[in-house]
Amino acid sequence: MSGYFASAARALATSLRNLFRRPVTVEFPEVIRPRAERYRASFALLHEEDGDEACIGCLQCERICPSEVISIKAGGKRESPISGKKRGYADDFVLDLNACIYCELCVQVCPTDAIVMTREPEQPAYGREDLVLTMARLYANEKSKHRAWGDATRLNGMQVPPKPPKVEAPAPAKPAAATTPAPSPSNAAPDSPAPAAPSSSPGATPGGGPDRSSSSGPSEEGTP
């Protein structure tokens, strides 16, 4: 029993200690606390400087969304009523905040900086349909809410540039088979002299034997 009363006394002491503390909560949305510079809570679609819609209906934000909360109906290419140039348009753009994870990937891939995030939080909603941002609401947020600091151009400029691909070193060439180079004419050995023809002597016959008829010595026959 003593432990029970001790625990009850500690609980009462904690309650009395916090009874006169200054409250730190605020009544949202009547009171909104200052937000950080990079606070992001909603989205907006923008117009170009000439007043034309910046979205070209390329569907890149729809493809990259990990939660698949973006649905776009591309309108194809047609002439701009302002500039007269042929360009793409989006006939419908819907973003469902019920499942959005605020990863900002849709902002990073936009080629025309058409979609951005806003700093003001959405008003409290009592139904899921209130958190669905239609195309009209997205364009209304452009004028009624403050933009966040980032868009596709700034966010991509802050990315670390990719490392250059490694250049593979060429494979070492295989040594060629050793061959004896042919002698060049300048290095060739001088031609050896041709053998001299045998000279004919008075005592020699064409067959190479001695000419007995012209011999001055005594003949084999006896003298008379």
Instruction: Quote the CA–CA distance of 201 and 195 in Å, as a whole number.
Output: 18
Query: What integer pLDDT is reported at residue 132 of this predicted model?
Result: 94
Query: What integer pLDDT is reported at residue 11 of this predicted model?
Result: 92
Model confidence at 34, pLDDT cuts 50, 70, 90, reads confident
Q: What value does the mean pLDDT take over residues 98-116?
A: 94
Contact present, 55 and 107 (Cβ < 8 Å): no
CA 112 to chain CA mean position, Å: 20
Q: Is the pLDDT of residue 166 over 90?
A: no
Contact present, 158 and 104 (Cβ < 8 Å): no
- For residues 45-62, one letter each, b for 16 or more C-beta atoms within 10 angstroms of the residue's C-beta and e for the rest, the string is bbeeeeeebbbbbbebbb
CA proximity to 113, closest of 160, 66, 68, 49: 49
Instruction: Quote the CA–CA distance of 104 and 40 in Å, as a whole number.
Output: 9
Query: What integer pLDDT is reported at residue 172 of this predicted model?
Result: 75
Contact present, 78 and 120 (Cβ < 8 Å): no
**What's the topology of domain 28-150?**
Alpha-Beta Plaits (3.30.70)
Both structure tokens of 207: 């067959």
Instruction: Quote the CA–CA distance of 44 and 86 in Å, as a whole number.
Output: 24
Render pLDDT for 175-211 as a digit per residue (tens, 0 to 9): 666 555 555 555 545 555 555 555 544 444 444 444 4
For 80-156, where are the E strands, in sequence order?
86-96, 115-118, 132-133
Query: What integer pLDDT is reported at residue 90 of this predicted model?
Result: 95
Residues 6 or more apart whose Cβ sits within 8 Å of residue 59: 72, 74
Distance of CA 90 to CAs 62, 73, 81, 133, Å? 12, 6, 14, 15
Contact present, 86 and 78 (Cβ < 8 Å): yes
Greatest CA separation found in the chain? 186
Contact present, 145 and 43 (Cβ < 8 Å): no
